[in-house]
A and B are shown apart, each in its own frame.
Chain A
Amino acid sequence: MKDVLNDIKENILIHFPPDLSKCVNNTSSDVLSNLNEIRLRANKAVTANAGSEYTLDQNGFSVNANAPVMASAEDIKTIFYSAVRQSPYAFEEEIKNGYITLKGGHRVGLCGRAVQSGQEIATIKNISSLNIRISKEILCAASEVMPLITNEGRILNTLIISAPSCGKTTVLRDIIRRLSDGIGCLAHNIAVADERGEIAACANGIAQNDVGSRTDIFDAVGKAQGIMSLIRSMSPMVIATDEVGTYEDAKALRAASLCGVKMLCTAHAYDIEDMLTDKDAVKKEICSLFERIVVLKNTKRPGEIKAVYNANYERIM
């Protein structure tokens, strides 16, 4: 597991103006190491979430802040420009998508004035709010899942489903790492189509999360496009991607399956019934491509299995 405290100081607070950074640094290490996110809004108090809501004052984040520290518009501008290495032109795609990935895999969500070009957001200007989400890599998240999704050391086509924030991506990332490094199974060449950069969290093209030594990452690419391109270019044994759910995804996954590539995906759903009773039948079609469907529990600990189904949707655990 990462040293969260150092990670926050080296990769997040480095972007803060000295005054704000000093205040945050005064926070007790217990609170700091449990931080999930820091929110900055122009001319509003700086807040954080570490299980419960905290507000920043001169002594750091606390539940009952005496004199809350306000983030000025200038502070937000400084953090934004520092996060994009003073080069917003080089981060146009990320800004358009509303987030920037920092070293360490932390993500800065952006909000401000949208500049639209037709139906699409061309860019965001006058950034007024930042939501810094602290990336916490959990390297044992898939230990429970692994024996159920491998057969004689080889991966089976696996779909992980759960409600939001139950650790799908965390589990997927750990499975990728284990398969790539051959931990408890044969080592596989893996290609990741990381559309939203949540799996590998690439910053300047380098994966900030440990996704193993035999993993190729196609960052910020559409899933369907990425899968097809990766099959042609990288000849992977396994293709992994996050949050599949459209016809295009299903089509690309089917093509991958026909090429003999194993698939490792996640999807949003509360249970397998959710997937099989989908009105558009897309999710059902997606399910039909997998040999294992792992449903995660709705708990705070990522990777807790609720149920595992085989290709015939029979519960095997």
Chain B
Amino acid sequence: MKIILLSVLFIMPIAIGFHLSKKTEKCYKNLKYLNMCLEKIHIQITQYLIPLGDIFYELSKEEIKPMDEIFLSICKGIENGGQTFKYVFYSEFELKKETLGFANEEMDLIKNISELMGSSNVTGQEKYLAGLIKSSEKLLTYREEQYKTKASSYKKLGILAGAFLVIVFL
């Protein structure tokens, strides 16, 4: 009985540490992919004038989970009509917020994207998307630092906390 209890005490903090580390990693990787997508969207809108529905459909075919599902739903939302892009875009990301590991900062970026993407002429989109990419890159740099420092710290802290609890109970 005692061994089981000690094992649980040892494993639990480690699991929490690994979970937090994974979450940081998920957030960073998904944000990195989103940033890459924004660059692609920027080119497709300003150079080729491709409608948003087609852009998101193409992005969904890259099969990067869970973004592909989000992009496909956005594409369907646009093509089904009757709703604003702002609503379609934001609500799809809001639904998958946890899976993406996105925090408030990322959701603010999503909100900014949803506000005006596609809604003006090419010149307007050029400026707007360039601004979005800049703020996305800034956030990405911050998350990269966090990922590099915090991800391994969470794991180490988890292991240490587990070991500490076992020692205390022994």
Q: Could you list which residues of chain A lie within 8 angstroms of chain B, going by C-beta atoms?
A: 14-18, 21, 78, 81-90, 92, 123, 204
Contact = CB atoms under 8 A, between A and B. Distances in A.
Given A14-B82, A18-B82, A92 B52 contact: no
Interface in B116-136: 118-122, 124-125
B100 interface: no
A90 B51 contact: yes
Contact of A82 (B45, B82, B125): B82
A123 B82 contact: no
List the 3 shortest-distance A-B pairs measured between CB atoms, nearest first: A82-B81, A87-B51, A86-B85
B82 A85 contact: no
Interface residues of B, number: 22
B53 A86 contact: yes
Contact of B125 (A14, A81, A89): A89
A269 B125 CA distance: 45
Nearest to A86: B85
Most buried by B among A15, A16, A88: A88
B84 A78 contact: yes
A92 B83 contact: no
Contacts of B84: 78, 81, 86
A89 B81 contact: no
Given A78-B83, A81-B84, A89 B78 contact: no
B85 A81 contact: yes
B79 interface: yes
B120 A87 contact: no
Given A88-B118, A89-B122, 8 more contacts: A14-B81, A15-B82, A18-B82, A82-B83, A85-B52, A85-B79, A87-B53, A92-B122
Interface of B: 45, 49-53, 78-85, 88, 118-122, 124-125
B74 to A, nearest CB: 10
Contacts of A21: 82
Interface class of chain A by DSSP: helix
Contacts of A90: 49-51
Nearest to B80: A14
Given A14-B80, A14-B82, A17-B82, A89 B121 contact: yes
Nearest to A92: B121
Contacts of B49: 89-90, 92
Contacts of B119: 81, 86, 88
A92 B123 CA distance: 11
Contacts of B52: 85-87
Most buried by A among B51, B80, B124: B51
22 contacts: A18-B82, A78-B83, A78-B84, A82-B81, A82-B83, A83-B81, A85-B53, A85-B79, A86-B51, A86-B78, A86-B85, A86-B118, A88-B119, A88-B120, A89-B118, A89-B120, A89-B121, A89-B122, A89-B124, A90-B49, A90-B50, A204-B51
Contacts of B124: 89
Nearest to B119: A88
Contacts of A86: 51-53, 78, 84-85, 88, 118-119
Contacts of B85: 81, 86
Contacts of A89: 45, 49, 118, 120-122, 124-125
A124 B115 CA distance: 20
A83 B81 CA distance: 8
A15 B80 CA distance: 8
